[in-house]
Amino acid sequence: MRRVVVTGLGVVSPIGQGRETYWRALSEGRSGAGPISLFDPEGYSVRIAAEVKDFNPEDWMDKKEARRADRVIHFASAAAEMAVRDARLDVSALDPHRFGVYLGSGEGGITTTHENYGILRDKGPSRVSPFFIPMMLSNMPAAYVAIRYGAKGPNMAVVTACASATHSMGEAYQCILREDADIILTGGAEAAITPIAVAGFASLKALSTRNDEPGRASRPFDLERDGFVMGEGAGVLVFEELEHALRRGAPIYGEVTGYGLSCDAYHITAPDPEGDGPKRAMAMAVRKSGWKLEDVELINAHGTSTPLNDKMESAALRGLFGDHADKLLVHSTKSMIGHALGAAGALETIAALQSFAEDLVHPTINYENPDPECPIPVVAAQPVRRAVRTMLVNNFGFGGHNGVLALQRYEG
């Protein structure tokens, strides 16, 4: 049986760029939320988001290429380069046909779509950019990264809303297991803080309207939560077959041991209140890992800070783990970085893997008033110092798409 390990981590996030900066901010409980600056939100009911700051795409690609690529591609390219460097990967030494890219994005190049619709409306069809289509497509982050590194193996862009990155990573894991590739750059990217997306999510009543205190707006599992804070960024991980990694002396952050997926088949936006789909996905990931339910120690929760989703996830954890749920450590990375939609699973998996490296579970900030309808043990204001061995990373998307990744400390 082939085994899959993680050998490189690349991060573009609202709380910093690069693995070490990102982890330091998470462990210190820093929020990346603030007033929207990417456009003028005057007149919007929601005027806050967790934006990526101090990011220059020309640090990662040439000026001409940057102009012809959407912000989501900028983020994906930067995170991929960081992951390749972090893995100490000599791309020229790889068999290109055994080297793949699986990068998801829920919204794709929505900035480009918004801008070019304005051009079409104001100036006519002849003025729409010839690069509009390749800048807008959701598969283009995966395509750009593959072109950059000459990765000619399996290539996929899973689009399952907020589960996109987790499904991309799960499919990458399965691809390596079935011997179709030895190494895959995987994860997700998103850059959806745009007028149309913010207006749309606000109309759904999905976003927090705590405009006067953005740092306290994302509060997963807290009684006073009122919606999620939109985030953005990219997370790219190097998934590698174990023997391949050992032969080149690669750093190993952890092992991927299982992957679960399911569908609620319940509603286009609302989760099944019983959490049946997430419960089945978690059970599948545990079973595929060869674990018992009692072996699971940490849950990096989907934890969006929306009233329905957090209640549902709590019900799913209670329903699956029973009394063992009281022994779990549960936390939400979204409390600090907001909800990065199709990139969320990748950024949260990177956070989870850092828990192995640092023997530390980061806090869930703003968890101040426990909700009796979310009866789970949330890691609150302070981090927990513990050498965790096993964990699940949960992500659930609109449409009822559920993805769960199981990770284990690598012990040789």
Residues noted as catalytic: 162
Nearest 5°: CA angle at 137, between 133 and 138? 170
Name the residue with tokens 């460097």: 85
The DSSP-derived string for 280-308 is HHHHHHHHHHT--GGG--EEE----S-HH
70 token code pair? 């959407």
SS in 3 state form for 331-375? ECCHHHHCECHHHHHHHHHHHHHHHHHHCEECCCCCCCCECCCCC
CB burial readout 157-195, b (16+ within 10 A) else e? bbbbbbbbbbbbbbbbbebbbeeebbbbbbbbbbbbbbb
* β-sheet bridge partners, residue 231: 50
E strands in 212-315 = 233-241, 254-263, 298-300
Q: Do 228 and 142 contact (CB within 8 A), yes or no? A: no
Enclosing H/E stretch for 201: helix 195-203
Coil, strand, or helix at residue 8?
A: strand
Phi, psi of 78, deg, nearest 5 = -65, -45
Where are the extended beta strands (E) located within 157-242? 183-190, 233-241
